[in-house]
Amino acid sequence: MPVDDLVIGIGGESGEGIVTLGEILARIAARAGFEIYTFRTYPAEIRGGHVLYQMRVSTRPPLSQGDRLDVLVALNQEAYDRHGEELRPGGVLIYDTSVQPAEGVSHTAYPLPLSELAQAIQFSRGRNIIAAGAVAQLLGLSAEHSRQVVERQLGQRAELLQQNLRALEAGYRYTAERFPPDRQMRLPQVEERQRQERLVLSGNQALALGALAAGCRFFAGYPITPATGIMEFLAGELPKIGGTLVQAEDEMAALAMVIGASFSGQRAMTATSGPGFSLMIELLGLASMTEVPLVIVDVQRAGPSTGMPTKTGQGDLFLALLGSHDEAPRFVLAPTSVEDCFYQMAQAFDLAERYQTPAIVLSDQSLSMRLETVPPFRLDDLPRSERLLPPLNGEGQVANCSRYQVTESGVSPMALPGMPGGQYTAEGLEHLPGGAPSYDPQNHEEMMRKRCRKLRTALEAAATKDIVARCGAAQPEVAVLCWGSTAGAVWEAVAQAQQEGIAASALAVKLLSPLPEAEIRDFVAPAHAVLVPEENFSGQFAHLLRARLGLAVQSVTRYGGVPFTPGQVLEEIKRLACPANERRSGGD
């Protein structure tokens, strides 16, 4: 019987096309009608060092990269040595004949003489595409779909396309002639009428598309791993709709340009990673003081300093929430999936424009680089608030240009350059309602209350309806609080815990500033224990929950640059559920 959920790991050396091999296979599976979810980990160097590309192929939308491998594709010895133990008992090992597998291991083995096959077609660089053809054939994926994907992905270089197609065919032919169909890795056929319409996107692409859908027309940025893909995508798309993209000389200049563009009335953004975000902090304070709306995407990576640029992490939470000299109110959002990247980006622009306050979107390396199949976006569901402009009098002039007037909501009308009578002073000094500088203590307190009041107003408004996502038991024994890309593994773990009789539930918090305290308190109220998994060293979100809500949470962290698996979260849920289970059975 064909399998309906496979976790496939592909390992090899940087520079040998491991990521290309993985992405081609993932897109072939998606074209055949399957849902996909990928993860990659690779070194910062262009050549040399180990690369793992993990993909999950399923008939149902996967929420995580999965746990143990069903299939391991080892293109060199290091890949087998590192990941052989992750292959489940009875799993499938596909390996280059240069690899020496351990003796006495119960795997179904498929040796591939990749170098010899590449020499036979006089294309030494084609080992990875030969492997793609071989694996696709073993999975039961269509040769025609494979050919279409290779043509689309590698067709930019016409002189190499025919060689790549020959390599793909060589891999197909070799395995078809030598190996019978294997039920434990043979995917079912998805009939055309059963296939759901899907997009295949990375997190970075979804963030960029969300920005475009939200009306962003100006981007300034400086290249930095793993955020550069956002700028590269927008560089191709913004000019098509009359937008502008500038590659600045550094991150400080980029955010300064974004502030200027927004001041003139454009919806504007930048994207960076932790080191670049650190450089933006002073200008973030300027945007907060002058009440200029803008969006900053921080694609987090392991740190500090340069850290591990190609590894994932969630260590920028405190920086995003609190990074400032003095205090500078801002919105902070954290999408949970590739699909959610699109919608949270739209929400970030809506909050920024409606409340004239900077908004920060926290992604991370694993989310930004992964590919997922997602349904077409619901454009009619996107929030689209317009910036509050001052009213005009009968002569077409601004009736009252008190730019920073104190209001109940904290939001005051913002005149744009060129509006008759709308001139005002906008600078980093504290100011009176009209914009003139002021050093009066009472005025400073009143203006700070005004700026902070916007966050409270936003939290109470319907505009923030997508601020949490919940799954699991209504009355949980174990409540799991998470944020960002850990949500998928948490949701799978909660579902598995419920199947094992544990009343578990999860709440993914998507709006981190302002923190939806009421929703969190209601969620944890019935629970015996509260678990907070996150990918940083100190448990930053757990610290925040203890400080702000006084919750006695159990923090579990990973800091190695790779994301949680569902099994790791499930193990922690079981550990915390034990006392409650003992009480139910008469213990204690």
Count CB atoms within 10 A of the CB of residue 20.
17
By residue range, what is the domain housing residue 425? Answer: 388-462
Per-residue pLDDT, averaged over 403-408, amounts to 96
Span 328-344, pLDDT tens digits: 999 999 999 999 999 99
pTM of the model: 0.94
Q: What is the pLDDT of residue 24?
A: 96
Same domain flag for 312 and 255: yes
Number of domains in the chain: 4
For residue 198, pLDDT over 80 is answered with: yes
Same domain, 312 and 216: yes
* pLDDT single digits (tens) 227-275: 999 999 999 999 999 999 999 999 999 999 999 999 999 999 999 999 9
Residues 129 and 271 in one domain: no
My answer on whether 302 and 213 are in the same domain is: yes
Question: Can you give the CATH number for the domain in which 69 is found?
Answer: 3.40.920.10
Whether residue 206 is found in the same domain as residue 288: yes
Sign of CA dihedral 62, 66, 70, 72: positive
Residues 51 and 162 in one domain: yes
Question: In this structure, are residues 506 and 480 in contact, taking their beta carbons and an 8 Å threshold?
Answer: yes
d(CA 359, CA 284): 10
3-state secondary structure of 114: helix
Determine the Cα angle at 537 with ends 574 and 81, to 5°: 75
Strands (E), 203-349: 218-221, 244-247, 268-272, 295-300, 331-333
At residue 193, the pLDDT reads 55
Which of the listed residues 462, 490, 525 is the one where a domain comes to its end?
462
Among candidate residues 381, 403, 425, the one where a domain is terminated? 381
- Indicate if 136 and 21 belong to the same structural domain: yes
Per-residue pLDDT at 39 exceeds 70: yes
Residues 362 and 396 in one domain: no
Q: What is the CATH number of the domain that holds 321?
A: 3.40.50.970
DSSP 32: T
Please answer whether residues 402 and 260 qualify as being in contact, where contact means their C-beta atoms are separated by less than 8 angstroms: no
Q: Is the pLDDT of residue 301 over 60?
A: yes
Same domain, 243 and 353: yes
- 446 and 518 both lie in a single domain: no
Q: Of 179-193, 229-243, 513-527, which range is least confident? A: 179-193
Residues 421 and 503 in one domain: no
Q: How far apart are CA 335 and CA 399, in angstroms?
A: 40
Q: Which of 327, 347, 381 is the last residue of a domain?
A: 381
* 407 and 556 part of one domain: no
Give me the chain's average pLDDT, please.
93
Helical ranges in 476-584 per DSSP H = 487-499, 517-524, 540-549, 566-584
Give the torsion sign (CA, 480, 483, 485, 488): positive
Decide which of 198 and 400 is more confident. 198
